[in-house]
């Protein structure tokens, strides 16, 4: 489902890959921070 056409010269797959990678990194950092805080407490 490509709703928007290619605007910035990047295919939808690249945008999805970059966005997914950023989401995974952010979620991993949040989980790691919460666990580290719980263990430290």
Domain ranges of the chain: 14-41
pLDDT computed for residue 14 by the predictor:
80
Angstrom distance (rounded) from CA 5 to CA 33: 38
pLDDT computed for residue 40 by the predictor:
80
pLDDT computed for residue 13 by the predictor:
78
- Six-digit token pair at 1? 């489902």
pLDDT computed for residue 19 by the predictor:
87
What digits encode the pLDDT tens for the residues 1-41? Answer: 555 555 566 667 787 888 899 999 999 999 999 999 888 86
pLDDT computed for residue 30 by the predictor:
96
DSSP 4: S
């Amino acid at each position: 489902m490509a709703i928007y056409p290619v605007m910035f010269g990047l295919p939808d797959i690249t945008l999805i890959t970059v966005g997914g990678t950023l989401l995974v990194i952010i979620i991993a950092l949040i989980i790691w921070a919460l666990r580290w805080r719980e263990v430290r407490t």
